[in-house]
Amino acid sequence: MIINTAFLVIGLVGVGLAVFSIVWLKARHAHLKPAQSNTKLATNLRDEKLKSEIILNTIDDGVILFDKDMTIQLFNPGAGRITGWGVEEAGGISCLAVIKLVNEKGEEYAPDKNPLNAIFNSTQTIRDNTAVLVTRANKQVPVNISVTPLLDGDQTVTAAVATFRDVSQERAEEKRRAEFISTASHEMRTPVAAIEGYLALAMNEKVSKIDPKARAYLEKAHESTQHLGKLFQDLLTSAKAEDGRLVSHPVVTEMGAYIEQLTDSFRFAAQKKGLLTDFIIGTSGTGVGSQAGERVVRPLYYVHVDPDRIREVLTNLFDNAVKYTPSGKISLGITGNNDVVQIYVRDTGPGIPAEDVPHLFQKFYRVDSSSTRTIGGTGLGLFICRKIVELYQGRIWVESKVDEGSTFYINLPRLSTQKASELQTLEAQRQTPAPLTSLTTPVV
Ligand code: ADP
C-alpha cells in the first residue's frame, strides 16, 4: 500500500514535471522566436546577396549600373572581359567612355540613338541587336545590348542597368548564312531566267508552232518558272537587306507625282481581276486620274528616298492587295502632315487575324488561314518592304479586320520645301545621274 502510494506520488510529480517542462520550453521558444527569425532573416539576406554576387561575378554577360550623370556604379567581371576594362578601373567613370557603341558600319551613334543616353527619356527597356562595341584595345565586338531604366515614384529615370553579350559568333554565322543564300539565289536566277526565256520563245507563234495542248503545258511551266524567279529575287533582296548591302540611291522625290506615274500599271493589275481601284492624293481626297485631264491643286509631299526601292514596296503592297482580295476595291492614297508623308494601300479582302499582325513583317511569315493558304507566295514580300522603309527611317504597319479588309500604312519623314530645295541643289552639284525611273519634281 505504502509502495503503491509512493509510486502514485512519484508518477504525479513526473507528469507535473513533464507538463511544466513543456510549458516552460514553449514559453522559452516563444520568447526566443523573434530573435531567432531575425538572425535567420539576416542570414537569408546575406545568402541572397551572396547568390546575386556569385551570379554577377560568374556570368559571361556584361552588367553595369550607371546613374543620371552616366557614372558607373557597378561593373561586373563579364563587362570587364568584353570591354577590356578592369572592374576597379571602370567604377566611378563615365559609362560612355567604357561602353563605346558604333553601328555595323563602324560609325559612332548619334547621342539620341545611343541606348545609354536614350534610356533617360524612356520608361521602357531599350534593346539594340545590331550594336558593335569598341573595346579598350580598339577591337570591334558585335554585341546585343539592353538597357533598363530604374524609375523613382514620379516615373523619372534615376539610373539604368545595361546588360550586353558578345555575339561575334552568332553574327558571323548569320553572315555566312546570308552569303550562302545570296550566292545560291544569284547563281540559280541565271538558269531560271534562261528557262523562262526559252519557254517564252516556244510559246511565241512567230517563232514556233505548237499544238494547243502543248501550249497549255508550256504556259503552266512558264508561270511556275516566273514564280521561281521571283522567289530567288526575293531571297537575294532579303539577304542583301539583312546585311546592309541593299543598293539605295536616295534623291528628293515628290511622292504625289511619283505615285501618279504608277497608277496606270496598278489599275491594270486590279482590273485584270475585276477589282475596282481608287487613287487618292491629299487630305481633301482629290481623285488622281479619276477625271481625265483635270488639273488638281494638291500638297507637295517631298521625301528623300530611292524611288526604285519605294516602287518595290508599293508594288508589293498593291500586288498583295490584288492577290488576296477576291472582289471589291483597292485604294491607294497619300496624305501627310508637316513631319510625315503617309501612303496607304487599302483593300476589301479577307483581312488578317489579330494574332498574325505582329509577325506579318517577319521573314517567311505567311498567314495560315483557309483563304490565304491556297494562294502562292514566299512570305518575304512584307519583310523586304519593312527593310526598305526602315532604310529611310520610315515605319510600315497594318490595320486589319477579318472579313472587312486591311490597310497597309507607310510613314516616311517629310522634307520641307526649303530642305528639299537645298538637297536638290546638293544633288545637282554632285552630278549623280538620278535613276531613270525616278521622278524628281523641281521644288517650287
Ligand atoms: P507572300 O504574299 O509572298 O506570302 P508577304 O510577305 O507579301 O508574302 O505577305 C505575308 C503574308 O501576309 C501573306 O502570306 C498573307 O497571308 C498576308 N497578307 C499580306 N497582304 C495581305 C492582304 N492585303 N490581305 C490579307 N492578307 C495579306
Distance in angstroms between the alpha carbons of the first and the last residue of the chain:
131
Q: Is the CB of 405 under 6 A from ligand 1?
A: no
Query: What backbone torsions phi and psi does residue 48 show, to the nearest 5 degrees?
Result: -60, -45
- Give the model confidence (pLDDT) of 2-21 as tens digits: 444 444 444 444 444 343 34
The predicted pLDDT at position 116 comes to 95
8 A C-beta contact, residue 362 and residue 383: yes
**Do the beta carbons of residue 262 and residue 311 sit within 8 Å?**
yes
What digits encode the pLDDT tens for the residues 58-87?
999 999 999 999 999 999 999 999 999 999
Q: Are 110 and 118 in contact (CB under 8 A)?
A: no
Tell me how far the alpha carbon of residue 367 lies from the centroid of ligand 1, in angstroms: 7
Length of the chain: 444
pLDDT in tens, 20-33: 343 333 444 444 44
- Per-residue cell: 406: 486591311
Residue bearing the CA closest to ligand 1, atom 3? 377
Residue 290: its pLDDT value, please? 42
Among positive and negative, which fits the CA dihedral 388, 390, 394, 395?
A: positive
Using a 6 Å cutoff on CB, does residue 234 contact ligand 1? no
pLDDT, tens digit, 9 for 90 and up, residues 394-426: 999 999 999 999 999 999 999 999 999 999 998
Measured in angstroms, how far is the CA atom of residue 180 from the centroid of ligand 1? Answer: 26
Mean pLDDT of each 10-residue bin along the chain, 444 residues long: 42 41 40 56 80 90 95 96 94 94 89 91 91 95 96 92 96 86 87 93 90 93 90 88 86 95 94 95 49 60 96 96 96 94 97 94 85 77 95 96 96 94 88 52 44
Amino acid identity of residue 202, one-letter, is: A
Does the CB atom of residue 321 touch ligand 1 within 6 A?
A: yes
**Atom 21, ligand 1: residue with shortest CA distance:** 320
For the CA of 321, the closest atom of ligand 1 is 23
Cβ neighbours of residue 93 closer than 8 Å, sequence gap 6 or more: 71, 72
Is the full-model pTM beyond 0.75?
A: no
Q: In the prediction, which pLDDT does 42 show?
A: 76
The residue contributing the CA closest to ligand 1 atom 9 is: 379
**How far, in Å, is the centroid of ligand 1 from the Cα of 200?**
28
The reply to whether ligand 1 has any atom less than 6 angstroms from the CB of 378 is yes
Q: Is residue 366 within 6 Å of ligand 1 at its C-beta?
A: yes
Q: Is the CB of 407 under 6 A from ligand 1?
A: no
Q: Which of 372, 375, 385 most suits a substitution to test ligand 1, by most atoms within 8 Å of the C-beta?
A: 372
Compute the distance from residue 351 Cα to the ligand 1 centre, in Å: 10
Q: Are 140 and 168 in contact (CB under 8 A)?
A: no
Q: At residue 416, what are phi and psi to the nearest 5 degrees? A: -70, 160
CA of 352 to the centre of ligand 1 (A): 9
Residue 429 Cα distances to 245, 250, 423, 426, angstroms: 26, 15, 10, 5
- What the block records as the C-alpha cell of 5 is 502510494
The Cα 409–Cα 389 span in angstroms is 11
Q: Is the CB of 350 under 6 A from ligand 1?
A: yes
* 360 Cα to the center of ligand 1, angstroms: 8
